[in-house]
Structure 1
Amino acid sequence: MSTRRYPHSSVSPEEFHKWLSALICVLNSVYFLLNMIVMQKFGIGAVQFTVAVFGGYCFYKSSKGLYQPWHSHTLLALLTLNILISVAIMGLVAGATYWGLALPFWYYSLFGLRKGFIFSAIIMLSAATVIFYRTDTSVLMPYRTVFNFTLVYCSIWLVCHVYEVQRQKTSEYLHSLALQDDLTDLQNRHALKADFQAFQHSFESMHMLIIDIDHFKNINDKYGHDIGDSVLINVADALMQSIQAKEIYRLGGEEFVILFKNISDEEAFRQAEKVRKAVELGIFFSHNEPIKLTVSIGISSLRPEHEFTDILRAADQKLYQAKREGRNRVCA
């Protein structure tokens, strides 16, 4: 529906990438020096130097707020390649295999559930193949080595997968709390502001309708707040049923907002009239007593220089004009 940026229920992938790139830079710098000076493994040393440099580059970019998703993909690809090459060249003696056990956690933390699962599966098969062919048969049994590695890897993989599933469920729940009105199930003011910012430069025109239930205080005073809440729910349902727009919000109290994208002033007015008539013709009940409702609607249109508060204020002014002129009307 929109390009909102949601809050994360844990450390964001961007922040995790920043500090992981710093860790990878430091660790590969140490291994580069060991392989070049002590072990005389110049090929592996060259790979580790490349990984260290790119890790430092990623940390620098992230620190400046210039993170790009391809940074994470390239960094993990280089790190994975480094681990597989180390195992292929040096076998199990150097212990590079152990670093492969950390990969599922990094994959899921950076790439989410689907890519984390796919990448973890690919690495398990790749690592098991390399281990099988590079196991020193005079010291270890290839089948048992691959079997034990696969069991340990799958155990860690399973924990990472379950954790990511739960994290996503928690995030979705927090998003619904943050962006959804719990009474009417419409989107709330926070969602309205987020959508406006996402739509602002994506569409040639945008219209905002502010809809206010006329004399709503009288309904609360006469029938009670529980009936008032029922009226708000019914009005929200009427809004959703009368028009096709998905961008419908409860602004607060008895006020609702609808956003329309890429329609003319005439069409915006026609849609507002459709909403007004749907509420006016509807019958709402307090126990068995019918309640007749009307709404006043103000319309504003987006201009290039408008910010969220500008278009909201303009629609609000038109709303009060509709109320001054007798209510149950649309002003644009």
Structure 2
Amino acid sequence: MSTRRYPHSSVSPEEFHKWLSTLICVLNSVYFVLNMITLQKLGLGTMQLAVATFAGFCLYKSSNGFYRPWHSYALLISLTINILLSIAVMDLVAGATYWGLALPFWYYSLFGLRKGFIFSAIIVLSAAMVIFFRTDTQVFMPYRTIFNFTLVYCSIWLVCHIYEVQRQKTSEFLHSLALQDDLTNLKNRHALKADFQAFQHSFESMHMLIIDIDHFKNINDKYGHDIGDSVLIKVADALMQSIHTKEIYRLGGEEFVILFKNINDKEAFRQAEKVRKAVELGIFFSHNEPIKLTVSIGISSLRPEHEFTDFLRAADQKLYQAKREGRNRVCA
């Protein structure tokens, strides 16, 4: 399958970051007022003002299209420090520990499975240590509080982890549906375009082969579409077995495409001939009746001015030249 990367949630990290920045900015502004004016917690209030200011900065940047991944890291690190500091400074009855329970959800939503797990593990240990060293009253029971906090935190952490695992599996499945041809299991036209964009400036040369099965309509008319589908599957298998590359695509109908990277014109022609002979020498069956196939192949070489449609059109023109010249041949 294509190696293109996709956002790791249905809501993009940029969008989630923007809304999280809004929430953090508003909440820390409220807590800043409460702690500075009502509770006289000057140090904590100053910290919350700094977090609110940075969250406002992140909101401004993301709203104007200047989001950077480090904004999310810095935002959540500052929020995490703020929560841990609140747990350490505030009375337990103030409930600052409750905010720590929301952290796994934010970590997994912004950073994905692996980093979400690492951040969540660090925080549960850090929060437990902060709670343990709290001795604000004689009736305070650190072991009991740590036990309850850890159990609830780990329960939420487990749910977030399971959800993210399932979400990734669903994302990969949808990814395969979007980029894979469901009949032949080759990559499809969308994957071809995505791969071209990824490869375009990464290799010194690139060649495209368009392969068309000769007189395929006659096969469908004579044997039926179920046999035609079987022939397409067998041709796809022949292509995969005749050459060593993962860049093989079904363009649509009876047309296939192969991309070659960092080879010269002579080698591209040799590979095309190898494919043509593999199909010509192969035997395809309709029940007990053998079907002989041939293919016509057009080759284009990527030029600096080529976009995807130009590259494809150039190969297509060579394919039609091969058909005009009698089929079962390669034109470059």
- Shorter-chain TM range is over 0.9
The residue aligned with 1:141 is 141
The residue aligned with 1:255 is 255
For the residue of structure 2 that corresponds to 1:258, the secondary structure is strand
Measured at CA, do residues 168 and 135 of structure 1 come closer, stay the same or move farther in structure 2, by a change above 3 Å? farther
1:156 aligns with 2:156: yes
Aligned length: 332
1:192 aligns with 2:192: yes
* Contact preservation (8 Å) 2:8, 2:168: no
The residue aligned with 1:87 is 87
Task: Compare 127-136 and 233-242 and name the one that shifted more.
Answer: 127-136
The residue aligned with 2:67 is 67
- 2:8 and 2:161 map into 1 onto residues whose CA distance is 17
Correspondences of 1:52-131 after superposition (within 5 Å):
52-131=52-131
Correspondences of 1:316-331 after superposition (within 5 Å):
316-331=316-331
Displacement of 1:37 after TM fit?
A: 2.3
Displacement of 1:217 after TM fit?
A: 0.6
Residues 38-96 of structure 1 show CA distances to partners (whole Å, capped at 9, x for unaligned) of 22222212221221122122222222222222111111111111111111122423321
- 1:196 and 1:74 map into 2 onto residues whose CA distance is 35
The residue aligned with 1:245 is 245
Residues 195-234 of structure 1 show CA distances to partners (whole Å, capped at 9, x for unaligned) of 1111122222211111100111111111111111111001
Query: 1:191 corresponds to which letter in structure 2?
Result: A
- 1:29 and 1:323 map into 2 onto residues whose CA distance is 72
Displacement of 1:8 after TM fit?
A: 5.7
Displacement of 1:137 after TM fit?
A: 4.3
Cα RMSD for the two superposed structures: 1.5
* Contact preservation (8 Å) 1:83, 1:96: yes
* Contact preservation (8 Å) 1:84, 1:127: yes
Measured at CA, do residues 64 and 263 of structure 1 come closer, stay the same or move farther in structure 2, by a change above 3 Å? farther
* Contact preservation (8 Å) 1:179, 1:191: yes
* Uncovered stretches (5+) of structure 1, i.e. residues with no partner: none
* Contact preservation (8 Å) 1:9, 1:174: no
- Compute the TM-score of the two structures, normalised by the length of structure 2: 0.96
- 2:99 and 2:230 map into 1 onto residues whose CA distance is 58
- 1:7 and 1:32 map into 2 onto residues whose CA distance is 34
* Contact preservation (8 Å) 1:22, 1:55: yes
Displacement of 1:303 after TM fit?
A: 1.6
- Compute the TM-score of the two structures, normalised by the length of structure 1: 0.96
Correspondences of 1:291-330 after superposition (within 5 Å):
291-330=291-330
Correspondences of 1:147-296 after superposition (within 5 Å):
147-296=147-296
* Contact preservation (8 Å) 2:8, 2:112: no
- 1:184 and 1:220 map into 2 onto residues whose CA distance is 17
For the residue of structure 1 that corresponds to 2:92, the secondary structure is coil
Measured at CA, do residues 289 and 229 of structure 1 come closer, stay the same or move farther in structure 2, by a change above 3 Å? same
Measured at CA, do residues 135 and 169 of structure 1 come closer, stay the same or move farther in structure 2, by a change above 3 Å? farther
Query: 1:134 corresponds to which letter in structure 2?
Result: R
Task: Compare 282-291 and 231-240 and name the one that shifted more.
Answer: 282-291
- 1:66 and 1:21 map into 2 onto residues whose CA distance is 14
Displacement of 1:256 after TM fit?
A: 0.5
Query: 2:94 corresponds to which letter in structure 1?
Result: A
Query: 2:216 corresponds to which letter in structure 1?
Result: F
- 1:116 and 1:171 map into 2 onto residues whose CA distance is 17
Displacement of 1:9 after TM fit?
A: 5.8
Query: 1:291 corresponds to which letter in structure 2?
Result: I
The residue aligned with 1:49 is 49
- 2:99 and 2:22 map into 1 onto residues whose CA distance is 16
1:15 aligns with 2:10: no
- 2:135 and 2:235 map into 1 onto residues whose CA distance is 70
- 2:100 and 2:51 map into 1 onto residues whose CA distance is 15
For the residue of structure 2 that corresponds to 1:93, the secondary structure is helix
Query: 1:290 corresponds to which letter in structure 2?
Result: P
* Contact preservation (8 Å) 2:128, 2:146: yes
- 2:42 and 2:202 map into 1 onto residues whose CA distance is 52
Query: 2:125 corresponds to which letter in structure 1?
Result: L
Displacement of 1:235 after TM fit?
A: 0.6
* Contact preservation (8 Å) 1:210, 1:319: yes
- 1:2 and 1:230 map into 2 onto residues whose CA distance is 24
* Contact preservation (8 Å) 1:87, 1:130: yes
- 1:175 and 1:20 map into 2 onto residues whose CA distance is 27
For the residue of structure 1 that corresponds to 2:82, the secondary structure is helix
Displacement of 1:135 after TM fit?
A: 4.6
Task: Calculate percent identity across the aligned residue pairs.
Answer: 87
For the residue of structure 2 that corresponds to 1:154, the secondary structure is helix
